[in-house]
Amino acid sequence: MGRVLTLPSLRMERPTGTLARREARFGLLFAAPAILGFLLFSFGPMLASLGISLTNWSLLSAPEWVGLENYQRLGSDPLISQSLGNTASYALLAVPSGLIASLLIAILLNQKVRGQRLFLLAFYLPSILPAVSVIVVWLWLLEPNFGLVNSALHSLGLPTVKWFNDPSTVIPSFVIMSLWGAGGGAVIFLASLQGVPQELFDAAMVDGAGKWRCFRHITLPMISPVIFFNLVTGIIGALQTFTQGYLIGGGRNNAGLFYNLYLYQSAFSRGEMGYAAAMAWLLFIIIGILTLLVFRSSGLWVFYESRK
């Protein structure tokens, strides 16, 4: 009879006493740069902006305490409601269209074709180009008189559009321009699509499910966490739109005046730092409420592997 070797069971024990305190000190030491950076460059300026929002300050003179006067002024300023409406209209159009465009691009890139990496590079490259150069290109494309888009429409016998020069088409023009960066979200969607197990599709095909049912009942639930992530970041980014409006301008009748652009004008064009700080806190509250609503609704449509 051969001897049976028994191996001692290995158990991970928590450090106690001096070792535990030593590990805690080292943990705090390594985390200190991140904690200090957050306190100095994020949390500290936020508290300072809250204090500034309660003052009347033009940067060139000493702050004057006015209490909640700046917040009361927000309700009576007509450009606040107009800029918020413009920003909300842009977000309602840009976020869903961006999600759909990114997902469609990812589905196309997920096909097994030659040169897949080249196509991936072609779609992703526009999203990392400098914003200023991209906006200049779009200004040339959508120029009403000699722009490439209107020239193509004219050659096809279709009516031309004034794009950024018409208050009714300013926001749709910004939305069209935002689709230029859909490749960034497509890369994230592509990674999630490639992580869906092929066995699920094979089992569904055996049961007679078509491509649409597979997409509806397998693909979408499996990639729902990524949709949730892109939705949250898309909402936050759309509500903070600034560069496009700053370079192109607010348009006629302030039809393209975004909230962040008006905030910038209040702070640096008119020198109303206190009022601009109050505007920033209003935007922070709006973004926080919308983000919280999306998080609260995620339990109805976002599925994780650990969830039954």
* Gap between the Cα atoms of 244 and 242, Å rounded: 6
- 105 — pLDDT class (breaks 50, 70, 90): very high
* Gap between the Cα atoms of 196 and 218, Å rounded: 8
Residue 260 counted as domain residue: yes
Out of 111-120, 147-156, 196-205, 273-282, the most confident range is 273-282
- 2 — pLDDT class (breaks 50, 70, 90): very low
User: Dihedral of the CA atoms 71, 77, 78, 82 (nearest 10)?
Assistant: -40
Domain containing 81: what range? 70-301
The percent of residues above 70 in pLDDT, for the chain, comes to 93
Residue 33 counted as domain residue: no
Residue 5 has pLDDT above 80, yes or no: no
| Mean per-residue pLDDT of the chain | 88
Residue 108 has pLDDT above 50, yes or no: yes
| Closest C-alpha to 86, from 248, 278, 241, 285 | 241
pLDDT of residue 11: 52
pLDDT of residue 15: 53
Q: Phi, psi at residue 9, to the nearest 5°?
A: -70, 140
Q: Report the chain's C-alpha Rg in angstroms.
A: 26
Residue 14 has pLDDT above 60, yes or no: no
CATH code, domain with 155 = 1.10.3720.10
pLDDT of residue 252: 77
Residue 166 has pLDDT above 80, yes or no: yes
Residue 64 has pLDDT above 80, yes or no: yes
Residue 21 counted as domain residue: no
Residue 34 counted as domain residue: no
Residue 132 counted as domain residue: yes
pLDDT of residue 260: 95
CB 210 within 8 A of CB 219: no
**Domain total in the chain:** 1
Residue 196 has pLDDT above 50, yes or no: yes
pLDDT of residue 10: 47
- 3 — pLDDT class (breaks 50, 70, 90): very low
pLDDT of residue 1: 41
Residue 295 counted as domain residue: yes
Please give, one letter per residue, the 3-state secondary structure of 188-257.
Answer: HHHHHHHCCCHHHHHHHHHCCCCHHHHHHHHHHHHHHHHHHHHHHHHHHHHHCCCHHHHHHCCCHHHCCC
Residue 3 counted as domain residue: no
What's the rounded mean pLDDT across residues 234-240? 95
Of 69-73, 123-127, 290-294, give the lowest mean pLDDT range.
Answer: 123-127
Residue 152 has pLDDT above 80, yes or no: yes
Residue 55 has pLDDT above 90, yes or no: yes
- pTM reported for the whole predicted model: 0.86
CB 28 within 8 A of CB 34: no
Residue 20 counted as domain residue: no
What's the rounded mean pLDDT across residues 37-56? 93
Alpha-helical regions (H) of the chain? 18-38, 44-52, 69-76, 78-109, 116-124, 131-141, 148-155, 170-178, 182-194, 198-206, 211-214, 220-239, 243-248, 259-264, 273-301
pLDDT of residue 233: 95
Number of other residues whose CB lies within 10 A of the CB of residue 199:
8
CB-based contacts of 193: which residues, under 8 Å, 6+ apart? 106, 107, 110, 219, 223
Residue 6 has pLDDT above 60, yes or no: no
Residue 198 has pLDDT above 80, yes or no: yes
